[in-house]
Amino acid sequence: MVPKFLQKLKIQLHLQLQKSQLIQLVYKRKMIETMMITYTNQRKNRSEIGMTKKNGVRERTRGRILDENGNPLPREERKPKKKIACLIGYCGTGYHGMQLNPPHKTIEGDLFDAFVKSGAISRDNSNDLKKSSFQRAARTDKGVHASGNVISLKMIIEDPEVLSKINSHLPDQIRVWGMERVNKTFDCRKMCSSRIYEYLLPTYSLLPPKPTSPLGKQVTEAKIQFPGVARDDKEGQEWWDSVYTNLRENSISDEQIEIALNGLINNQEDTKIETETSKLIKRIKKLDNEFRRSYRISQERLQLLRDAMQQYIGHHNFHNYTLGKHFKDPSSNRYMKSITVSDPFVIEGTEWCSIKIHGQSFMLHQIRKMIAMATLVVRCGCPLDRISQAFGPDKINIPKAPALGLLLEQPVYEGYNSKLESFGYNPIEFTKYEKEMQDFKMKYIYDKIYKEESQENVFYGFFAFIDGFNGDHQIFSFLTAKGIEKLTKDELKEFEIPNEKKESNIEE
């Protein structure tokens, strides 16, 4: 005979099971009802948004261009579209970057508008880039320039005058150099085998730090401590001697120079109330800046920069030349194909040189850090192979050179061009547009870089900050005869350069 407590337990379990099943049924029913309501509402919305009544006939309007009254415009005659690679150039001043970003003014926004106005893109496809399979080879950010870039999309190219019509609807600071037919699967970003960037550098950036500055003192002290490691810089020493002579000729004594230097270190120039020290600092900086712009680089010093830049050629681990990468991260490895440094040229009293870097791919801030490292190694007199030592596992804090001098020269398709030719298409090359591109760069890109540097002393401010950095001496010890030393976590934090324009970056 079954005990009573077991019989009672059996009844309780049966009731609980029934209750549980009932709850599940109720929950399922509510879920089904909710899904049915949602589906009904979606059908209703689709009907309201995607259809309209005209003369009693329901007409599909989803994706259609509407007039000011909300009525769909009549469809245009469909014309055949071809996949095209457009070779373009632009000055980024006044634009919120390359990529379409409503409601901001962008390069792509003006390009797409010109395509529609010229008839290269139909009115029905004018409200969505995706309809034209739009792609860009490289994205540039606010205020950044490109003498050569590539976009790929489907276009109507029946009109033989379509290129001139497109350019007629563009502002002068945006140009379409040419258009080439490509196969349907062409993607201008993925098919790009390498990119060439250009960096414009004032040659006075290669002058050594002021001997009495914190960095100048570190260089001198390390040279005494580790003799035979650093280079002797007779040219740099003679230049600084001539600076002090020039200041004395302008009635500024050695004592006043020392007072001004102490004021700079203590940031007395930045005080809102103008003092005698702040006035003196401004006067000395003005004379120093004028004298600096009259500097003309020697062939020996220019060759040092060329030799320094050649250290980057080949396959290396650039983990120290970007942000957030570790030595063991495979993505830190990059391949530089070639680097050239031009002969110096003078623009409005300041001497410049052009550095062109051709690499397979680049990481965030990599080019700016490469330029900064090479420049600092030359100006501080440490061995040039300090650059290649930075490819090793030890972490160092390399500052970013100013973004002002950086521009995209052109993407390169040497790997994919042979495939295009096999399809019967022309290769994607900028060589036939070199003269037009050079004239464009001189008028719309170089002049703006020169003007901004002249007005704002961007490079002077950058190197003055590095030379006068009064933090832990270990941070820049890699630029002295001491060599690369192990840094703490705090010393490896990226430091901000005062007054640097954060928006002026480029997708590298």
The CA R_g of the chain, rounded to the nearest whole Å, is 32
Tokens (6 digits) for 392: 């090793």
pLDDT at 54: 47
Burial of residue 357 (CB within 10 Å: 0-12, 13-18, 19+) is: buried
Residue pointed to by tokens 């002077």: 460
pLDDT at 193: 92
* Domains of the chain and CATH, by start: 82-191 (3.30.70.580), 200-232+296-405+464-492 (3.30.70.660), 250-294 (no CATH)
CA–CA separation, 456 vs 445, rounded Å? Answer: 17
> If you ran DSSP here, which 8-state letter would residue 107 be given?
H
CA–CA separation, 86 vs 181, rounded Å? Answer: 9
Nearest to 478 by CA among 489, 492, 465: 492
CB 163 within 8 A of CB 123: no
Look up residue 185 and give its amino acid. Answer: T
pLDDT at 203: 97
Q: Are strands 333-341 and 57-60 parallel, antiparallel or unpaired?
A: unpaired
CA atoms within 13 A of residue 444's CA, in its CB half-sphere: 22
CA atoms within 13 A of residue 137's CA, in its CB half-sphere: 27
Tokens (6 digits) for 97: 């970057």
Tokens (6 digits) for 355: 């550095």
CA–CA separation, 344 vs 341, rounded Å? Answer: 9
pLDDT at 50: 45
- Which residues on neighbouring strands pair with residue 175, listed in sequence order? 89
Mean pLDDT, 10 residues at a time, the chain of 508 residues: 61 66 67 68 49 43 55 66 94 88 90 92 76 86 89 91 95 96 91 94 95 90 92 91 85 76 54 68 80 93 97 97 92 96 93 96 92 97 95 92 92 90 91 94 92 90 87 78 76 59 50
How many of the other CB atoms lie within 10 Å of CB of 414? 13
Nearest to 349 by CA among 202, 194, 173: 202
pLDDT at 61: 45
How many of the other CB atoms lie within 10 Å of CB of 82? 14
Q: DSSP states of 393-422 as a string? A: SS---PPPPPGGGEEEEEEE-HHHHHHHHH
Q: Tell me how many degrees the CA angle 289-292-297 measures, rounded to the nearest 5.
A: 160
Peptide bond into 393 cis (omega under 30): no
CA–CA separation, 168 vs 252, rounded Å? Answer: 57
| Count of helix runs (H) and strand runs (E) in the chain | 14, 12
Instruction: Tell me whether residue 197 is annotated as binding.
Output: yes
Q: Cα separations (Å) of 49 from 43, 45, 60?
A: 10, 6, 9
Q: Inter-axis angle of helices 214-225 and 458-467, to 10 degrees?
A: 50
H or E element, residue 195: strand 194-202
CA–CA separation, 220 vs 380, rounded Å? Answer: 10
CA–CA separation, 389 vs 463, rounded Å? Answer: 23
pLDDT at 103: 87
* Total length of the chain: 508
Burial of residue 500 (CB within 10 Å: 0-12, 13-18, 19+) is: middle
CA–CA separation, 237 vs 464, rounded Å? Answer: 17
- Catalytic positions, please? 141
Q: Cα separations (Å) of 412 from 153, 188, 194, 196, 200?
A: 18, 10, 5, 7, 21
Q: Cα separations (Å) of 292 from 210, 266, 413, 421, 489?
A: 12, 23, 41, 51, 36
